[in-house]
Amino acid sequence: MIERNFHIMTFGCQMNSNDSDWLKRSLISRGFTEAATPEDASVFILNTCSVREKPEQKVYSLLGRIQTMTKGREDILVAVGGCVAQQVGRGFFNRFKQVRLVFGTDGLASAPQALDRLVEEDQLRMSLLDFSEEYPEKDQEWSDGVVPPAGFVNIMQGCDNFCAYCIVPYTRGRQKSRSSVSVLEECRTLVARGMRDITLLGQNVNSFGQDAHGDGTSFAALLHQVADIKGLERLRFVTSHPKDIADEVIDAFGTRENICPRLHLPMQSGSDRILKSMGRKYDITRYRGIVDKLRHARPDLQLTTDIIVGFPGETEEDFLQTLRTAQEIGFAQSFSFNYSDRPGTRAEMLADKVTKEVMQDRLQRYQDWQSEYTEHILQSMVGRKLDVLFEGMSKKPGSDNNAEAWQGRDVFGQLVHVTLPSGGDMAGKFMPVTITEAKKHSLIGEKAGEPW
Ligand code: 5AD
Ligand code: SF4
């Protein structure tokens, strides 16, 4: 029998972190405990991502490290989940003796039961790789009854867009919306237990409900229903595909007080030619039109984006269009990446690949601009009074013993550090804060009113 002591390693997107958080809670409710350090663990869970670069190699080398670290121990169980598990599947069993469970996205919901069995039956191996027809509803176990002040609620799984570069539709399957009733129930429970900031999560939230599994509720309708929940102070959603964002959703930024003025709207490229080849189904005029409407609805809206540099066929001029467009729109932040071939995607077959050197040079130029601009945005916050929702103590302790450093987020989601007299429990509380200083990635502020 294997000890019920686990360690989870998570790679990739917000979906994966959210899945890992759920898995952790679910395992704890089944009598597992989280190991204090990886060395103490008997059950290792790797939640993997294959969206970019060489994820398989990363997973193999990590499995090799676990093997070395646990040399001589028989009582080890390794589970591999997420997108790489979906792709490689049972192939892991042949290469690594310790791997006894592989689970894909739809298999996650039953991974805790599987682990329950596997710790008891040491000859058993299991794979949960099938895509289910329906959204695989998971039990919502908050074992210790305490919910964090801010959290995520999954509203859908998978994606139907098949953008030329993207592996997600293959690893996470086709789009499956969750029922609006379940989404609302989960949001209401979380708010009743103290959550004050919710992010609705999905690969393409704006097409919520528009698949065979939807219950007729559109994303705009769902957004309003969640925004109506009393006690929910902040509402966000991620990710939005520009081609699917409805006018009602744009308008909601202007009419609903608890919808936060920050939106992630992946642009990917500023060149119409490249966008067409990516299969994104919008051009830059349309993208800019959406940005204008959003800013009309909510003038202080901050926009963030995803950019791919070096997509096959991208010329210097295409890249410059991306850079110029980003500068004109003024993204508060970008997640920018070098294009990487993903097996089985349309882009993998395209000719005219951009060399690594050219790609790296373009990425550097893009990122140099973005870091400077992000700093400029943070600087512009100095002197402003903003409500901060505190999440916990900052890692760095304050310089004097009578003070504690707390960290939280403002309405834009920016990290704010505040030093406060020790002894007060600020977790889950809002407090007005005057911003006194901007760092490279965060803000420093001081108390400017009473917590609530
Ligand atoms: N190469 C580089 N970046 C990619 N992304 C997705 N697939 C690839 C790829 N093959 C980026 C996109 C997407 C984000 C999650 O990852 O920008 O929006
Ligand atoms: Fe990938 Fe495009 Fe779907 Fe986003 S919308 S997950 S980039 S296929």
The closest of 283, 44, 27 to 144, measured between CA atoms, is 27
Confidence grade of residue 286 (pLDDT, cut at 50, 70, 90): very high
Whether 268 lines ligand 1, by a CB cut-off of 6 Å, is yes
Cα of 323 vs centre of ligand 1, distance in Å, is 17
CA-51 nearest atom, ligand 2: 1
What pairs with residue 9 in β-bridges? Answer: 46
User: What is the tens place of the pLDDT at every residue in 61-112?
Assistant: 999 999 999 999 989 999 999 999 999 999 999 999 999 999 998 999 999 9
Structure confidence by residue, pLDDT tens digits, 408-440: 999 999 999 999 988 888 999 999 999 999 999
Q: Nearest-CA neighbor of 171 among 104, 268, 262, 218?
A: 104
**d(C-alpha 449, C-alpha 394), whole Å:** 20
* 3-class secondary structure, 444: strand
| Residue 235 pLDDT class (50, 70, 90 cuts) | very high
Q: Ligand 2, atom 2: nearest CA belongs to which residue?
A: 163
pLDDT, residue 423, reads 83
221-191-421 Cα angle (round to 5):
135
Residues 204-222 as b or e (16 or more Cβ within 10 Å = b): bbbbbbbeebbeebbbbeb
Burial pattern 147-167, b for ≥16 Cβ within 10 A else e, equals bbbbbbbbbbbbbebebbbbb
The residue nearest atom 13 of ligand 1, judged by CA position, is 306
Q: How far apart are CA 117 and CA 90, in angstroms?
A: 18
Helices (H), 129-178: 168-171
What is the distance between the terminal CA atoms of the chain, rounded to a whole angstrom? 49
Which residue segments constitute the domains of the chain, with CATH numbers given? Answer: 5-128 (3.40.50.12160), 150-379 (3.80.30.20), 385-447 (2.40.50.140)
> 387 and 381 in contact (C-beta within 8 Å)?
no
424: left (phi over 0), alpha (psi -120 to 50) or beta: beta
What is the arithmetic mean of pLDDT over 122-128? 93
Indicate if the pLDDT at residue 400 is higher than 80.
no
